[in-house]
Amino acid sequence: MAQFAVIGLGRFGSTIAETLIKKGADVIAIDNDEKKVEEVRNFATNAVCLDSTDEQALRAIDITNVDAAVIAIGENIEVSVLTAAILRKIGVSKVYAKVDSELHSRILSIMGVQRTIFPEQYVGREIANLLTSQHIFNYTEISKEHSLVEITVPSFFVGKTLKDLDVRNKYNISIIAIKRSEPTVDEFGNNVLLEETNVIPSGDDMLQESDRILIIGKNNDVDRLIRLSEKRQTKE
Ligand code: ATP
């Protein structure tokens, strides 16, 4: 089972901890405020009250064995930086951190923190992406450069197989799932839509008009395909 540490249990950190636990991960939840630790004990079995700038305290809870640690302390840069330095020193291989400014992000990146997250910017970009397109149902940034996006099938993809479309070469993206809704009648005789998701579709799968597809690729390539799809739609 994957094991993670979440340091700082404000809204950001406790949401990450709760979501990881719901997904079945093993989480060490840490805060130096006993009240915050108490709150997460509702869903986390391994919640510890300690100061993350105390190297001995971190070593004592075996934090070196986690697959990744998230530093969810944004406001106090000194604490965040010191915590990152200790985690790197004691051998935590992957460290992610919440940041409140560009400077904070740059310092942590130099120190070897793999990913820094500006929560407001991150959510803001996702919301803007959702708002600017009627074709997007979900937009998730999976790195600074890549996104995973759920869109309606572009009209020029309808009736074609994935092999015909050759999206990897033509659009530099991959289609990783097809969501299809089939009208059906339930046990009470009501007309309902049965949604099926075909994950990792094959080259012979053909796209239908009402399908949604999950695409993954570089932000520029994903955006290009969405814009192309919208342009063609307006013309039709
Ligand atoms: P959020 O925006 O996620 O709600 P916040 O507004 O509470 O966070 P932050 O400064 O980002 O503010 O702090 C996040 C959490 O980190 C707090 O719960 C705080 O108690 C905890 N924290 C601060 N310093 C330390 C430390 N040295 N060791 C452990 N936890 C700490």
Beta carbon of 118 within 6 Å of any ligand 1 atom: no
Closest atom of ligand 1 to CA, residue 15: 3
DSSP run (H or E) holding 170: helix 167-171
Domain containing 208: what range? 137-235
| CATH code of the domain in which 195 resides | 3.30.70.1450
Domain total in the chain: 2
Which of 78, 108, 132 terminates a domain? The answer is 132
List pLDDT tens digits, range 89-143.
999 989 999 999 999 999 999 999 989 999 998 888 888 877 777 778 888 888 8
pLDDT recorded at residue 185: 83
Mutational pocket test of ligand 1: of 15, 18, 30, 31, the residue with most ligand atoms within 8 Å of the beta carbon: 31
List pLDDT tens digits, range 67-92.
999 999 988 999 999 999 999 999 99
Which of 84, 102, 132 terminates a domain? The answer is 132
Whole-structure pTM value: 0.72
Which of 68, 102, 132 terminates a domain? The answer is 132
Give Cα separations from 84 to 50, 112, 232 (angstroms).
15, 9, 48
Beta carbon of 38 within 6 Å of any ligand 1 atom: no
Cα of 23 vs centre of ligand 1, distance in Å, is 23
35 and 119 share one domain: yes
**73: its two tokens:** 């302390």
Q: Atom 16 (ligand 1): residue with closest C-alpha? A: 8
Q: What is the mean pLDDT of residues 27-35?
A: 97
Residues 6+ apart with CB under 8 A from 20: 4, 6, 27
Strands 95-98 vs 68-71: parallel, antiparallel or unpaired = parallel
